[in-house]
Every structure is written in C-alpha cells, then in structure tokens.
Amino acid sequence: MKYKSMDIGQVSPEAAGRKERLAGWVDEVRDLGKIKFLLVRDRTGSVQVTWKKGSCEESTGEVIGTLHQNDVVSVVGTIERSTVSKRGVEVLPEQIHVLNRAKHPLPMDIAEDISTGLDVRLDYRPLDLMRPSKRRIFEVFSETISAVRGFFHARGFAEVVTPRIISAATEGGANLFNVRYFDRTVNLAQSPQLYKEQLVMGLEKVFELGTYFRAEPFDSTRHLNEFVSLDIEVAFADCGDVMVILQDMILAISSEICRNSQLADSLAQEFRKVSGPIPVYKYEEVVNALNEHGMKVNFGSDLSSEDLKKVQQFAEGAYFITDWPTSTKPFYIKQRGEGDVTESFDFMWGPLEVCSGGSREENRDKIEKKLLASGMNPATFEEHLKFFACGMPPHAGWGLGFNRLLMAMMGLSNIREAVLYPRDRFRITP
Ligand code: ATP
Ligand code: MG
C-alpha cells in the first residue's frame, strides 16, 4: 500500500532489523531533548518510535517536535528489539511524514480510560471509534453479519432485498413515516414482513438484513426510529422449526466470534457466550410465575418492561416465551388450534426482546377475519392477499432486531451504543 507496508499490530521482535513503512495517528509525544518518543497507533495496536540524537536525522527530530495527538503520520524506520518498551519492540525513524494535522486540542478526549457522556460521543462518533472498547462493538457487529450470512447460505437460504418504499402498513398502521414520492405520499417500511412471506412461494427459504423505520415518539434505551433487522421466512415450516433455526444461528454466532482470535482475546469480559439449548417458557407459565411473584398480569395483555424485569428472578440470559395470546400478536400470526393462543414466540435476552416470530396464517379468509378484528381494511392489503389464493404454502419466520442482539451479546445498556449513527426523535445528525 502507498502509505504503509504493514499494520502496526504486526510489528514484532521477530521483525527486528527490517525497514518498514507504518502509518497511523499520534497518541503521545515525549521530548527529552536528546531522545524523543513518539507513540503511533492504528486500529491494530500502537508502537513506540524512538528518535535518538546522533543516530537519527536532525530534521526527523524537528518533525516530532511539532506533533500533537491524532496528527496523521507515516513513519519509515527500522524495527529494533527493546527491553524498555511495552511490546518489546520499537522503531528507529528514518523519515516521518505528516499526512494531515489534527485540531489541538481535539473536541473530544479519545483516551480509553476517560469517560465521556453518550451525547458527546455520538456527536463525535468517528473519534469515539478510535477507542478500542467502542470500536470492538462494531467489529463484533461486522463479524456477526459475516457469521449470519455464512449460516444461512450453508442452509440453502436465498438472501433477498425487498423495498423500503411501500404503500401499505406491514405491522399495523400507526407507526409509519410518510414520505413525499412525486405527487403522492408513500411510507417507509416497518419490516419486510409481507414481501418475505410472498417470496416463500418461489424461493422457499429467504433471509434479509435491512434497515427499517418506526415512527413512534419512543423514549427508551431499546427503541430507535431506524433500526437494523434480520428477517427469515421458510416454506413448509412452523413456529418450532424456525425457533430451532434461531437457536442454531445464535450458537453459531457465539462460537464464530469466540473462534475469531483477534476479537476473542480482547472480548474475554464483555462478550456473553450462549452455549447450550435455550430454555423455552410458555406465556401462560410466565404470567402465572409473575403473579406468584406479586405482579398483576392478566392473560391476554402484553408483558410490560416492569414484568420482564421481574422475569429475571426465574429466567436469566437467553430464553424463549411461546404461545402468546392472539391479542398480543399481529394479524399474520397463526392461531394454535381453536384456542386463544398463537403459534408464536419472542426470543428474550434478560428483559430485552430480541426477536419475534411464529407460524404465519396461510388461509386467506382467516387473515381477512384477523385484519377486520384488528380494525384494518382487508382491501388495503389486496396486493398482498391476492397471492394467498395462488398456492401459498404453510410457512413460518421471524424478525430479529440486530442492534438489540448486539446489545445483548455485548452487555450494552443503551441501543445507541450498538448503532453507529442512531436516529431517534431528537437526533438526526451526524
Ligand atoms: P417492542 O415490543 O420491543 O417494541 P416489537 O414487538 O414492537 O418490539 P417487532 O415488530 O416484533 O417489535 O419487531 C421484531 C424485532 O425488531 C423486535 O423483537 C426488536 O428486536 C426489533 N425492533 C422492533 N422495533 C424496534 C425499534 N423501534 N428499535 C430497535 N429495534 C426494534
Ligand atoms: Mg415483537
């Protein structure tokens, strides 16, 4: 590469004697007159550059004297073993080029051990990511995406991309953003629900990773107005089948990330590994247990965040809650027999809902009845419903909040930590 011959993390005592070109950012400068120390870092690590009067060029020493934190430099020098530097190695500089100067002082302190408020960090997100602990969250995000793609491709799923510009609600009408579209008003997709269901006719097993929008004035640490979702839909499968797929995928992600040596070393404390079968509780069991623990939950109501915090007393880590009452689930979820429960599940991690899914209703008349019962007009869904009379197979699937999964795996308390540039009611920059 033009500016560097190796990453700084690759500089090792074994490379002693080699002349290399390194590039990165200034971390620290210490000028003791006859000897000057320059700490240079990139995303892989940092190394000490040691200038010694007499054995290094005077002009190189002068350049070091002008440097401040985060100036961007390229250093050509010889790698030497060192008994005093932390990594047992240092670089004796031949040339130092300043590639760009940084404002001094920086608008945000980027030292790992300085704690800065989340709002300031988000205002300066690219600087925030120069700290290893924050960068790591998004390295895990990237690795998780790679693991997910590998998992589904290996199982014969097709990756699909469905529209974000839509004309009808997918999850009920209330929380849609309206957008000007030439001379009409259209909506931003809340989920790929209707499209992925239609696609099981031709492709049978599909998955999609995408960004979706919900127009509610949320005020929470787990909701954003724009979020990333991982969705699957599978023909000839039911709720139990797609729960197994989800469990296998969670286990695969866990072991993939722990196998990635670069991540695993630095992740030891924060990453929550899932290794065994994930416990399953029925909604009714959870409600009974909650009522035994002094809460007042009626069968048929959704579980509040207070309820879910209480659930921690008997369910920890990752678990499923299944068989939700009809009233708590959207119109496309299938009824279990004639009763009032559905073939549905939520996948939870502590008090956090990470994923919702279940068997879908494939009978057009039943879907129409469910739409009417939830106050929606089946005619608005004609573009979707028409396919249910053309050979729609039984099918099941789920939608998983990808940022929430990252929150859960990394033990983060605010979803904004798990989104590079979060969008909430108040924040639309940077
Ligand atoms: P919640 O009850 O937490 O508001 P939901 O049941 O409305 O979520 P679903 O429609 O089931 O959400 O969406 C599937 C998944 O997408 C959720 O389990 C969650 O992980 C994620 N998700 C939904 N809404 C948001 C949001 N506003 N911000 C971030 N993730 C979300
Ligand atoms: Mg849900």
Stronger pLDDT, 271 or 394, i.e. the higher one? 394
E-assigned strand segments in 323-394: 344-349, 352-360
- Per-residue pLDDT band for 172 (boundaries 50, 70, 90) equals low
Residue closest by Cα to atom 24 of ligand 1? 223
Question: Please, are residues 395 and 233 in contact by the beta-carbon 8 Å criterion?
Answer: yes
State yes or no: pLDDT of 335 exceeds 90.
yes
DSSP state of 406: H
**pLDDT recorded at residue 284:** 97
Ranking 273-282, 356-365, 415-424 by mean pLDDT, the lowest is: 273-282
Cα separation, 332 vs 119, whole angstroms: 39
pLDDT in tens, 298-318: 999 999 999 999 998 888 899
**pLDDT, mean over the chain:** 94
Report, as an integer, the average pLDDT of 42-71.
96
Distances (CA, A) of 74 to 36, 40, 79, 132: 17, 9, 14, 21
Closest ligand 1 atom to Cα of 353? 18
Distance 108 CA to ligand 2 centre (A): 37
Q: What is the pLDDT of residue 221?
A: 97
Distance from Cα 406 to the centre of ligand 2, integer Å: 17
Residues 178-206, mean pLDDT to the nearest whole number:
96
Pocket residues for ligand 1 (CB within 6 Å)?
171, 214, 218, 223-224, 227, 229, 353-356, 399, 401, 403-404, 415
Ligand 1 centroid – CA 401 distance (Å)? 6
Question: Quick one: DSSP state of residue 415?
Answer: G
The residues that bridge with 311 in the sheet, in sequence order, are none
Confidence of residue 269 (pLDDT cuts 50, 70, 90): low
Mean pLDDT for the stretch of residues 257-284:
84
- Of 260-274, 283-297, 332-346, 352-366, minimum mean pLDDT range: 260-274
How remote is the CA of residue 113 from the centroid of ligand 2, in Å?
37
- DSSP code at position 83: S
Judge contact between 79 and 115, C-beta under 8 A: no
Task: State the average pLDDT over residues 156-165.
Answer: 98
**Which is the closest atom of ligand 1 to the Cα of 404?**
20
Q: How far apart are CA 270 and CA 133, in angstroms?
A: 10
Residue 343 to residue 345: CA distance in whole angstroms: 7
pLDDT of residue 169: 62
In a 10 Å sphere around its CB, with 0-12 CB exposed, 13-18 middle and 19+ buried, how is residue 34 labelled? exposed
Do 11 and 87 contact (CB within 8 A), yes or no?
Answer: yes
Distance 348 CA to ligand 1 centre (A): 11
Residue 219 has pLDDT above 70, yes or no: yes
Quick one: what percent of the chain has pLDDT higher than 70? 98
Q: With cut-offs at 50, 70 and 90, classify the pLDDT of residue 259.
A: confident
pLDDT of residue 171: 63
Q: Calculate mean pLDDT across residues 231-240.
A: 98
pLDDT of residue 266: 73
The pLDDT value recorded for residue 63 is: 97
Pocket test for ligand 1, best of 356, 400, 414 (most atoms within 8 A of CB): 356
Which residue's CA is the nearest one to ligand 1's atom 18? Answer: 355
pLDDT at 267: 74
Ligand 1: which residue has its CA nearest to atom 27?
223
In degrees and rounded to multiples of 5, residue 348 shows phi and psi of -115, 155
How high is the pLDDT of residue 263?
76
Range 329-356 average pLDDT: 95
The average pLDDT across 35-56 equals: 96
Query: Whose atoms come closest to the Cα of 324: which ligand?
Result: 2
Q: Which residues, 6 or more positions from 148, have their beta carbon under 8 angstroms from its beta carbon?
A: 207, 209, 230, 249, 253
Q: Check pLDDT > 70 for residue 268.
A: no
In the β-sheet with 280-282, what is the strand arrangement from edge to edge?
158-159, 205-213, 226-235, 395-401, 352-360, 344-349, 318-322, 280-282
224 Cα to the center of ligand 1, angstroms: 9
Which tokens go with 173? 């009408």
Q: What is the pTM of this model?
A: 0.96
